[in-house]
Structure 1
Amino acid sequence: MYVRNNLRLSVIRRLTWQGLIIVVFYDIFICVLYGPLGFHWLDIPWQPVATLGTAVAFYIGFKSNGSYDRFTEGRQLWGTIVNVSRIWATRVFHFVEPRGGDRLPDSEEIRDLHHRLLYRQIAWVNALRLHLRRQTATHWDAEVAPFLDSTEDADIRRMSNPPTHLLRQQSDELRQLYQRGLLSEFRHVAMMDSIQDMFNAQGGCERIKNTPFPRQFAYFSFVFVWIFAAVLPLGLVEEFDKLGPGHLWLTVPFAALVSWVFNTIEVVGHTSENPFDDTIYDVPMTSICRTIEIDLRELLGETDLPPKIEPVNDVLY
């Protein structure tokens, strides 16, 4: 996620320079044909061009709003994951305690239980991030495996959807704790509600990831912008030529400027379509996972904590 208040010129150039160069040379070509070469039949009335521009503006505005909604929903889902993780940790500490059974565990075993349940939660958020970014194969050893025991790690990493199986492991452990008398029925249900919230958040993220922005909207948005950029100088060239000798060439900067604005709106919508693709415009899942890790490990009383993720070149990953 880009965090600087104002975009650097390098970012703007990287987004739009190709389109701008194309329309500038195209506008110059139209002016050469109309002026020095005398192809005056190229001009068209301005009114249909303006009507087309209005229609395209509505269309790309719709696309941009839809793309932004996808990003916003993705960020809200990860905000939910942060809150549910903290609730889970609180419930682990206050709910998992001796309440009867054949053998009451000592405080060391209780601490081990807390540690395992919270570390598995950290593993889940990292596994979900890697699953959404399609990075499980390359980053699992460094970012998920350290929070699991070797046996569980070997079993989970082979699954097609590791986050789902990690939540299943949490559910199995809760069932065992309930059977041992370390969870009352009410507390067991409350903790299962937290797991349900995690499944809901994971499902929402997977829905966004696996359902691309409708291609008919995205494709025709691109086509319509370039059709408008093609006809725009044809509508402006006669209008500027009426102003007097030499004014014809004003078509180039003004047509290029208007085309650049339309193309930029289209590009902004395009870059916001997929909030989990690990680009500079995505939800900062790495930073969010690190925040959850720090919070949960501090609750365990650990002091050797990793640093917070800081922006790199104004981008927070």
Structure 2
Amino acid sequence: MSMQNTTSSSDFILLGLLVNSEAVGVVFTVILAVFVVAVTANLVMTFLIQVDSRLHTPMYFLLSQLSIMDILFICTTVPKLLADMTSKEKTISSVACGIQIFLYLTMIGSEFFLLGLMAYDRYVAVCNPLRYPVLMDHKLCVLLAAGAWLGGSLDGFLLTAITMNVPYCGSRSINHFFCEIPAVLRLACADTSLYETLMYTCCVLMLLIPISIISTSYSLILFTVHRMRSAEGRRKAFATCSSHLTVVSVFYGAAFYTYVLPQSFHTPEQDQVVSAFYTIVTPMLNPLIYSLRNKDVIGAFTKVFACCSSAQKVATGDV
């Protein structure tokens, strides 16, 4: 009996990654390794920011929120993908599909806004360093982070509700490894042009708002840096912003392709590659980019590692 006939009429079938059957084992191992590194790196980053007083600053508070979003983001898609790669049953219920859509939309939307707010934080740090503690106090940081989470969740609620209420008939096979809206809508048996226009408009606005903040912030930063007479001051300013700009370029580039570029420029193969990059690889890259190029984070890690080593020696009586 075929899989199509053994599943509930409301279930979807995730066809998974377009991988040669002989390479499934290798791809599974690579994805699992990336997943473990991503979750571990983000947990370590969050832990260091919590325990080291030197990292109790607005920039690192916002960075801890980014790490939490990345953990939830990668956990939304990868566990199901890994399970499907080792199972003949690749079904996902309509409810589970809706939850997956809501979670990844919420995480990606929240990261859009958070990266914009992090650019504003860098603007204040570089252009108004003396007023930085006042302009970016803890209360404001909490409100900014809450606003990012709220903005992402509103986007998730709106688009998920509409997507799951579109009538689906005929094939229930999603040519993707998770329930991403463009792939799901290809199964609709009704005209979705109005909804696709709404989704396109919503995504453009979700991108334009933070991109405007980022562009304005970095334009003012460049103007301020250009006026600096000290070469050391310029170096520090660029070092402060380079990690954030790298993360922004990677994340927004993938999102622009998926949600802004017209569907005529898409193919299922390209969509899977881009989606795999921003849902699997990006959550791993973000903490590595910020930690490997950040002396404060490396110093905090070294300090915690030294304390753990000393405690272990005391416990084993090696001192």
- Report the TM-score when normalising by structure 1: 0.28
Choose between structure 1 and 2 for higher RCO, CA contacts under 8 A separated by at least 6 residues: 1
- Report the TM-score when normalising by structure 2: 0.27
Between Structure 1 and Structure 2, the one with more helix by share is: 2
